[in-house]
C-alpha cells in the first residue's frame, strides 16, 4: 500500500454474513440445522440489507465446521446462484481470531495510541496478535460497513492525514461525511495521481453499494493534489475550499503585500 497502489474493495470477495446473537443461544441452536435455518430466515426478515441480494431466491445448507481458534461451530449456506456464504455470529471477530468481548477493551485503547506492547502487558497474547486484530478491519469495505439502509451522503469532506510508515512519510487519503469515515487509504505521495488512487478506493466501494452514486460537493483545504484527484474521479463535483484555509491564504498574501510595500501598515 505504501507504493501508492490502492487496494481494491473487498466487498465482492468476502462472502460472510455476520448476524447478531449471544454466544449461549448460538451454541444451543447451531448444531440443529432446522433451528439454524429458522434463525437465518428470521434475521433476513429483520435485516435484509446485510444479506446478499440473491438470498431471496433461496438457499440450502452447504456444510459446517468448528473453528480451531475459538472452538465455535460455523455453518455455510449455498445460494441458488451457486455462491457459498459463511454465516458467522457477531460475538466472534473476523477470521475467528477471538471473541469480541475479550478484545474490545484493548482495541478501544488503540484509539488513544496505546502501544501494542502495553496491550500485551495488560491483556496477554503478544504484540503481533494485537497488531493483526487492528489492521484486519482495513480489509473490509468501509462504505458497505457504515452504510446500510440510508444513502451515501452527497456532500463530502476530504483531507490527507500525514503519517509515517516504516519511517517514510505517507498520506492517508480520508473521506468523511455526517460523522462517519467513508474512506481511508494510504498514498505514498501527495501528488494528484497518487491521491487519485487513494480516493478511488472510496469511489469503488461507493459504486459497489450505489451503482450510480455521484457526490454533489467535496470540501477540501484547497491543496492542488486533492483538487486534481477529486476532479478526475468525479468531473461534475463542486469543489468547496475550507473557509479556514482560505482565510489563512488571504492573511499570508496580506503579509507579503505589506512586506513589499503595496499595503500600508
Beta carbons within 8 Å of 191's beta carbon, 6+ residues apart? 225
Interval 94-111 mean pLDDT: 91
Is this model's pTM higher than 0.85 or not? no
Q: Is the pLDDT of residue 220 over 50?
A: yes
Element at 182 (helix H, strand E):
strand 180-187
pLDDT: is 45 or 253 the higher one?
A: 45
Q: Is the pLDDT of residue 198 over 90?
A: yes
Q: Is the pLDDT of residue 92 over 50?
A: yes
Interval 35-59 mean pLDDT: 93
H-type alpha helices, the chain = 23-29, 33-46, 100-110, 116-123, 127-135, 142-146, 192-209, 224-233, 243-259
pLDDT at 208 (0 to 100): 84
pLDDT band at 105 (very low <50, low <70, confident <90, very high): very high
pLDDT at 91 (0 to 100): 95
Q: Percentage of the chain surpassing pLDDT 70? A: 90
Q: Is the pLDDT of residue 218 over 50?
A: yes
pLDDT band at 2 (very low <50, low <70, confident <90, very high): very low
Interval 11-27 mean pLDDT: 84
pLDDT at 239 (0 to 100): 94
Q: Which of 30-34, 45-49, 117-121, 201-205 has the lowest mean pLDDT?
A: 45-49
Q: Is the pLDDT of residue 10 over 70?
A: no
pLDDT at 214 (0 to 100): 95
pLDDT at 53 (0 to 100): 86
Interval 139-144 mean pLDDT: 77
Q: What is the DSSP letter of 1?
A: -
Beta carbons within 8 Å of 257's beta carbon, 6+ residues apart? 263
Q: What is the DSSP letter of 92?
A: B
Instruction: Just give the CATH number of 145-250.
Output: 3.30.420
pLDDT at 145 (0 to 100): 72
Q: Is the pLDDT of residue 11 over 50?
A: no
Beta carbons within 8 Å of 78's beta carbon, 6+ residues apart? 59, 60, 61, 62, 84, 85
Pairing of strands 168-177, 155-165: antiparallel
pLDDT at 252 (0 to 100): 73
Q: What is the DSSP letter of 136?
A: G
pLDDT at 241 (0 to 100): 85
pLDDT at 262 (0 to 100): 67
**What is the domain partition of the chain in residue ranges?**
16-92, 98-139, 145-250
Q: Is the pLDDT of residue 12 over 60?
A: no
146-178 per-position pLDDT tens digit? 776 678 999 999 999 888 878 888 899 999 998
pLDDT at 244 (0 to 100): 67
Q: Is the pLDDT of residue 225 over 80?
A: yes
Amino acid at each position: 500500500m505504501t507504493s501508492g497502489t490502492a487496494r481494491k474493495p473487498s466487498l465482492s470477495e468476502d462472502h460472510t454474513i455476520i448476524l447478531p446473537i449471544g454466544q449461549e443461544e448460538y451454541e444451543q441452536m447451531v448444531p440443529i440445522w432446522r433451528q439454524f435455518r429458522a434463525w437465518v430466515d428470521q434475521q433476513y426478515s429483520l435485516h435484509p440489507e446485510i444479506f446478499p441480494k440473491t438470498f431471496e431466491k433461496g438457499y440450502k445448507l452447504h456444510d459446517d465446521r468448528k473453528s480451531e481458534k475459538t472452538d465455535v461451530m460455523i455453518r455455510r449456506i449455498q445460494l441458488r446462484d451457486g455462491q457459498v456464504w459463511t454465516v458467522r455470529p457477531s460475538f466472534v471477530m473476523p477470521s475467528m481470531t477471538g471473541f469480541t468481548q475479550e478484545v474490545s477493551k484493548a482495541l478501544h485503547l488503540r484509539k488513544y495510541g496505546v502501544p501494542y506492547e502495553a496491550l500485551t502487558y495488560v491483556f496477554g497474547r503478544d504484540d503481533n496478535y494485537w497488531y493483526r486484530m487492528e489492521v484486519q478491519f482495513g480489509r473490509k469495505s468501509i462504505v458497505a460497513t457504515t452504510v446500510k439502509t440510508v444513502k451515501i451522503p452527497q456532500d463530502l469532506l476530504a483531507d490527507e492525514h500525514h503519517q509515517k510508515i516504516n519511517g517514510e512519510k505517507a498520506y492517508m487519503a480520508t473521506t468523511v461525511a455526517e460523522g462517519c469515515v467513508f474512506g481511508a487509504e494510504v498514498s505514498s505521495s501527495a501528488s494528484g495521481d497518487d491521491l487519485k488512487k487513494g480516493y478511488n478506493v472510496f469511489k469503488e466501494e461507493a459504486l459497489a453499494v450505489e451503482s450510480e452514486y455521484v457526490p454533489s460537493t467535496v470540501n477540501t483545504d484547497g491543496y492542488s493534489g486533492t483538487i486534481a484527484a477529486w476532479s478526475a474521479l468525479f468531473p461534475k463535483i463542486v469543489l468547496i475550499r475550507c473557509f479556514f484555509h482560505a482565510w489563512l491564504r488571504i492573511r499570508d498574501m496580506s503579509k507579503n503585500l505589506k512586506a513589499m510595500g503595496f499595503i500600508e501598515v
